[in-house]
Amino acid sequence: MPADDRAQSPSILLRRVDQVVSHVEDSLNLIAALAIFFLMFVGVVQIVGRTFFDFAIFGYIDWMEQASVLFAFLGIAYAQRLGSHIGMDLTMAWRPSIRWKIELFGVSMALAIITVLVYASFTNFLRAYSIGDSTMDIRLPTWPAKLVVPLALSLLWLRLSLQIWGYVRMIAYPDAVPIAVPRLVTIETQVQDEIAEVLGKQDTK
């Protein structure tokens, strides 16, 4: 049986799961972006109010601390999907087959670390919920913000698992179309893609 036929069945399932997870990641990333905009707006209101109108938002610091978890964590799986996290790539000139194996090793290590963080952050949430932990100023409960952390990390855990699946598939079938993994591109290609996106995907040549 040809390699393409053998890779076809699992690739369909992988693509479907990747699409579902991607929709969730896109939605959470949008929420994170809206949270940034909202916090900027509230910050402006706070500064202008205190400067010109002797007015301050009640519990401003507490609200900012709790809301910051939204943009800090909700977009983390989205960035992992696109390969947008800051990193150093020393394997750009290597053959794709070798790079797939290196990427698989790195993602596997990340999955192990995230597994520990999911457990630890969920335990931290349970503790905050059980003892009624709250902020210092206006006594906001902290458990909603602490619950966001394990939920966002769980989505990242799922994304890493999909990438492991995708990398194993690429190692087994090197000529297959990559699914659920970031594309292996050079810096020049990445810059050209970003320029094309900014210009409305026009031909920049």
Distance CA(199)–CA(196), nearest Å, equals: 5
To the question of pTM greater than 0.85 for the whole model, the response is no
In a domain? residue 42:
yes
In a domain? residue 204:
no
Which residue type occupies 99? R
Is 1 strand, coil or helix? coil
Position 167 pLDDT exceeds 70: yes
Q: What is the mean pLDDT of residues 95-122?
A: 89
Is 178 strand, coil or helix? coil
Distance CA(19)–CA(125), nearest Å, equals: 29
In a domain? residue 203:
no
Q: What is the pLDDT of residues 78-94, one digit of tens each?
A: 888 887 666 556 555 56
Position 204 pLDDT exceeds 50: no
In a domain? residue 37:
yes
Q: What is the pLDDT of residues 55-68, one digit of tens each?
A: 877 877 888 888 88
Q: What is the mean pLDDT of residues 2-21?
A: 72
Given this model, what pLDDT does residue 99 score?
A: 81
Give the residue numbers spanning the domain of 101: 3-198
Q: What is the mean pLDDT of residues 143-165?
A: 94
Given this model, what pLDDT does residue 73 score?
A: 92
What is the average pLDDT value for the chain, to the nearest integer? 81
Q: Show contacts of 125-134: CB within 8 Å, 24+ apart.
A: 125/149, 125/150
In a domain? residue 184:
yes
- CA-nearest of 126, 136, 131, 133 to 65 is 136
Q: What is the pLDDT of residues 38-56, one digit of tens each?
A: 888 888 888 888 888 878 7
In a domain? residue 25:
yes
In a domain? residue 110:
yes
- For 73-84, give one letter per residue: b (16+ CB within 10 A) or e: bbbbbbebbebe
Given this model, what pLDDT does residue 138 score?
A: 84
Q: How many percent of the chain have pLDDT more than 70?
A: 78
Given this model, what pLDDT does residue 9 score?
A: 57
Domain total of the chain: 1
Is 138 strand, coil or helix? coil
In a domain? residue 162:
yes
Given this model, what pLDDT does residue 85 score?
A: 62
User: Could you tell me the pLDDT band of residue 205, with boundaries at 50, 70 and 90?
Assistant: very low
Give the least confident one: 1-15, 90-104, 170-184: 1-15
- Rank 74-78, 136-140, 193-197 by mean pLDDT and report only the highest: 74-78
